[in-house]
Amino acid sequence: MMDPNQVERKSTVLSGIILLVLFVLIIAAAVALFMNPDLLENIAYVIIMIFLVIAAIAVIIMVFAGVLAIPMYMKKGTEVQTNMSYSLDDVKEVDGSMENKKE
C-alpha cells in the first residue's frame, strides 16, 4: 500500500512536448515526400550506400582476420599422440541403425 506522505508527482510536460514535436516532424516529412517524390529516391540511395559501406567494412575485417589467422595457425602447430595411428585405413564404419535405441 502506498503511503500518501511518501508520494511525489513528477511532471510529464517535457515528454508531452517531445511527442508533439515528433508528431509535427512526421507530418512535415510526409508533406515533404508528397511535394518532392524524388526525395524518397535520394533517401533510399543514401540508405543503400550506407549498407554497402557497412558490408565492405565487414568484408575487410573478415579478410584481415583471416590473414592474421595464418601466422597464428603456423605458430600454434598441432599435437598428435605418437603411439596412435592416424591412417584412414583404421577408420571403422558406424552403424547408424536406431533398432536398440531408447527415446
Domain containing 56 equals 37-75
pTM: 0.47
Say if CB 80 and CB 86 are below 8 A apart.
Answer: yes
Q: Would residue 52 count as lying in a domain?
A: yes
- 7-16, 28-37, 54-63, 65-74 — which one is most confidently predicted on average? 54-63
Q: Name the grid cell of 31.
A: 508533406
Q: How many domains does the chain have?
A: 1
Q: Would residue 101 count as lying in a domain?
A: no
Q: How far from chain centre, in Å, is Cα 68?
A: 23
Q: Would residue 53 count as lying in a domain?
A: yes
Q: Would residue 56 count as lying in a domain?
A: yes
Cα–Cα distance, 92 to 10 (Å, whole number): 74
The string of pLDDT tens digits covering residues 49-89 is 999 999 999 999 999 999 999 998 888 887 877 887 778 88
